[in-house]
Structure formats: C-alpha cells, structure tokens
Structure 1
C-alpha cells in the first residue's frame, strides 16, 4: 500500500507544473529528475503522516535547500504547513526569491513541490506549536494575502528589522510575531519589535570583507548595504536563520513537540538546526 501511495504521488507530481520549485533559481526551464521527484514524494509522505497524526492546524516545516554547514547551520529554509488550506489538505505557505532577482513572492505549494526544489538532501524537521499559538497563527495565515507582512524587495542577508528588504526567514518571524502578540500587527516594524522583546535573537553569519569583495558575492539578491558600515567592515552579519527561529520558539516555550528525519530515518534526538 505504501509503494502504491508513493507511485500515485509521483504520478501526480509529474503532471503538476514544477515552475514554483525553481522560484529561487535562474529562471531557466528545468525538469526535475524522476529519482528526485520520487525522493521528494517519499519525504512528503513522511511529512503528511506526521502532520495528520498530530492533527494541528499549522506547523513549521524546514528543509535543506542550500549547504550552510560552513556557517554551522543545517536547515536553510522553512515554511508553514497549513491544514485544510484552500490549495490542499496540507499546503506549505512560504516566501521565495524569484529567479535570483531582488524580488520575492509568497507561494502556496504542495509538500511534493516543497521538497522538489533541487535540495541538498531530503532531511526534514517539523515543529508543532502549543495549541493556542497554533490557533492564532493558523487564523493569521488564512487571512492572506491580506495583511501578509510581505515586502517584495528581497535580500538573502536582509538585516533583521529592515524596512527596505526581507528574506524568507524574516517573513516567518514577522508573521509569527503578528500572531503571537495577540494584537492586529499589520506592519513589519511593529511585528519585529515584538519578536525582539519576546526573546528572538538573530544569528551572526560571518562573511569576511575580503571574500565579499574578491569572492564574487555580489548578486541581485544579496545586498550588503542593507547593513551599517561597521557590520560590513567586521563581516559579522546579523541574519534571521532557521536555527534562530527554532531557538526562539524553544526558549519562549511555544513548541508543543518536534520531529526530525535524517536520510529518511526518524531521529531519537533532535540534531543541530
């Protein structure tokens, strides 16, 4: 029965457009290799089984899209897995960079597409919120696209709290804060201010000045001038990462439970984020 489900998911995935899966790449038409779609389908089945068993309206789901191990990080991207969304039973709502440009959009994707984005591997972590937090967050997400707190100007290393740029993880923190505060926070600055007062602390990512200048790190979706001169000279950039989001939720006591799969195997202990 399990193999039949995988086959059905694979067939459906091949019939769906995969354009969304490459929203962060160079906008060249590409086809996902069948074995990668099969791997994504297997991960999606693991996620669906866990999400159905938990029976919560929303959860935070993370993937490994980029190798960030040199920065001590594992998960590079996350989104909200929403139950009974207008686009499907379990739909991931997340922010994606458009084709390596300086723009972004919000996407609502099925789980197979979410894990088909030419990922480093199929490792997965799901974090479930405390029931009251999950209820408020689900209600907030279902208001979208109204009050989405989305800023279309994208910066991969966006300064936390920046009014001019946003990246996918900053959007997650601001969206969570707008729900956690219990108030109608419809502007990003107020939401992020609440997150900081509530205990959120961004990560520090070190990018040496020499590497930035000589290493070809300039691109449309990476804006160093979003940070003050002192930061650029030191090379220590505060950035919202998936790890910093997990730490915030754990420290603030907002996590009900979490599960992690490495190489398709459920971990007894949750590993580094």
Structure 2
C-alpha cells in the first residue's frame, strides 16, 4: 500500500491546474496550497468510502457561498465505486461555461474538490443498500438511463420539463432508484415519485431589485421558468443540497452520514 504522502505528491504532479468546468471557460491557475487541500479532503473521503464498502454514495462540497440563503453545501455528486473512469469516480452534472447547457462529468475525487471551492468542508451520505445497488447499476449503464436534460437553469423550477440543474439531476436520479419496482423511467415520473415520497424543495428569495440592479441576468439563469406569481414575490422553489439531505433523512433512504468541517470529522452532521 502506498504511503499517503507519496499519493499526495503524485496527485500534485498530475492534477491539471485549470479552471472550473461549471463556470467560465478560462484557465485558472490553482495555487499548490489549494491542490494540496483538495488532495487531503479527497483522501479523507476515499478512506471513508472504502471503509463503508457501498457501491455508491452522495458526496457534497461547498463551491459557492450560499450562507445568505441559510445554506452550506452548494453542489453534490455520486461517488461510484469501480467506475469505468476509476476506483472512486464522482459523476455529476455541471453547467457548461456559464451557458444555457450542461453536461454529465466523471471526475476523480481530487478534481472534484479542486474546483476553486469556498472551503474544503465535505459530507458523505450513504444510502440504504437496495437503493445504492439500483443507483449504482443506473450510473454504470448507458447514458440513456441517466435522466439528463441539457438545457440548464441555475434556478430551475423543481419538476420543470424545460430545464434542469445539478441538484435537480441528483434528486431525479435518486428517485429513479428508490422504488424496487415500477422504476420511474423519465424525469417527470421521477420527480412526481419524489414528491409523493415526501420531497419538499427549499425556497430561495431573490428580490426583484437584486435581479435588476444586481445584474442576475445570464444565459444560465432563466427566471421565466417560474410562474409570474413566483417572480413577483421573489420566492423561488429550488432543489438544494439541503432539501435532498432532508428528504433522504426523513424518508429513511439515508443509511448514515459523515461530515468534515475545517478538516475535522464531526460527531454529528451539522446544518446543510
């Protein structure tokens, strides 16, 4: 078995120091200290995943500061054991360069945590064995079963047929794997199942003045995906990482969780 320091040095040599896939298409030099921090987080997460011996788990990171909305984690992906791209590969949806489209990406764990994040806090949620097994099978099969819709909207309306964001994709994939029979085969049925099963979206307030004066008009943010009444109040229902965690916990689909804040393992998971 390789010594952790040797693994870390290998990672620093071979992880590309460039920009985020989910925002602007420009190269960004990632400072060595940030790459080192990402590698350390990746090692902690992978060690926990190896110990649990599940085929897939949900892994969350802090890519954007959402504290003003009372949120901690902004993004999540599925860590898949023995994926075609590597032992623990994170499969997740990312916006393509701030455009109105998205793609599904398969990344190594270090790259997942080296994406110019706010901090290196991380949380793993393990699923009930049956759900994990069905989800892993879906994630390892053809792209046709991955419920991906390429039209991206940062504030996609939950259940929208026209748009999807990264958290909506996570929820829909989970919902497609939860039932042992009558598996939802499309996005509409998957979200409908999640609603019946107890999922409730979070509400994010974006004032009209903020939209206009703050310049929140971009190709990847489509307010008209929501009804006029929502736009007038500024209270937008959105699938968040927190709402997914809450759903998995209250529905009993989560087996257990593990979390690190400031590099320290927490006795119990905190706010998400």
Q: TM-score, normalised by structure 2?
A: 0.96
Q: What is the CA-CA distance between 1:18 and the residue it aligns to?
A: 5.1
- The aligned counterpart of 2:266 is 267
- The aligned counterpart of 1:35 is 33
Task: Give CA deviations for 1:157-215 in whole Å, capped at 9, x if unaligned.
Answer: 00000011000000001001111123342211111111101110000001111111221
Q: Aligned in 2, Cα 1:6/1:106: closer, same or farther, shift over 3 Å?
A: farther
Q: Which runs of 5+ in 1 are unaligned?
A: none
2:22 is equivalent to residue 24 of structure 1: yes
Q: What is the CA-CA distance between 1:78 and the residue it aligns to?
A: 0.2
- The aligned counterpart of 1:92 is 90
Q: Aligned in 2, Cα 1:268/1:257: closer, same or farther, shift over 3 Å?
A: same
State how far apart, in whole Å, the 2-side matches of 1:55 and 1:165 are. Answer: 35
- The aligned counterpart of 2:119 is 121
- Judge conservation of contact 1:10–1:37 (CA < 8 Å) in 2: no
Q: Aligned in 2, Cα 1:194/1:161: closer, same or farther, shift over 3 Å?
A: same
- Judge conservation of contact 1:13–1:113 (CA < 8 Å) in 2: no
Q: What is the CA-CA distance between 1:31 and the residue it aligns to?
A: 2.3
Q: Aligned in 2, Cα 1:30/1:14: closer, same or farther, shift over 3 Å?
A: farther
- The aligned counterpart of 2:136 is 138
- The aligned counterpart of 1:83 is 81
Q: What is the CA-CA distance between 1:10 and the residue it aligns to?
A: 4.0
Instruction: List aligned pairs for 1:1-273, cutoff 5 A.
Output: 4-17=3-16, 22-182=20-180, 183-273=182-272
The DSSP-based 3-state class of the residue aligned with 1:152 is coil
The DSSP-based 3-state class of the residue aligned with 2:73 is coil
State how far apart, in whole Å, the 2-side matches of 1:104 and 1:7 are. Answer: 35
Task: Give CA deviations for 1:212-261 in whole Å, capped at 9, x if unaligned.
Answer: 12210101111100000000000000000000000000000011110100
The DSSP-based 3-state class of the residue aligned with 1:22 is coil
The DSSP-based 3-state class of the residue aligned with 2:119 is coil
Q: What is the CA-CA distance between 1:7 and the residue it aligns to?
A: 4.2
The DSSP-based 3-state class of the residue aligned with 1:92 is strand
Q: What is the CA-CA distance between 1:133 and the residue it aligns to?
A: 1.3
Q: What is the CA-CA distance between 1:9 and the residue it aligns to?
A: 3.2
Q: Which shifted more, 141-150 or 125-134?
A: 141-150
The DSSP-based 3-state class of the residue aligned with 2:188 is helix
- Judge conservation of contact 1:204–1:238 (CA < 8 Å) in 2: yes
Q: Which shifted more, 71-80 or 24-33?
A: 24-33
Count of residues in correspondence between the two structures: 271
Q: Aligned in 2, Cα 1:146/1:87: closer, same or farther, shift over 3 Å?
A: same
Q: What is the CA-CA distance between 1:61 and the residue it aligns to?
A: 0.3
Q: What is the CA-CA distance between 1:25 and the residue it aligns to?
A: 2.0
Q: What is the CA-CA distance between 1:141 and the residue it aligns to?
A: 1.1
Q: What is the CA-CA distance between 1:8 and the residue it aligns to?
A: 2.6
- Judge conservation of contact 1:6–1:38 (CA < 8 Å) in 2: no
State how far apart, in whole Å, the 2-side matches of 1:263 and 1:64 are. Answer: 12
State how far apart, in whole Å, the 2-side matches of 1:18 and 1:179 are. Answer: 35
Q: TM-score, normalised by structure 1?
A: 0.95
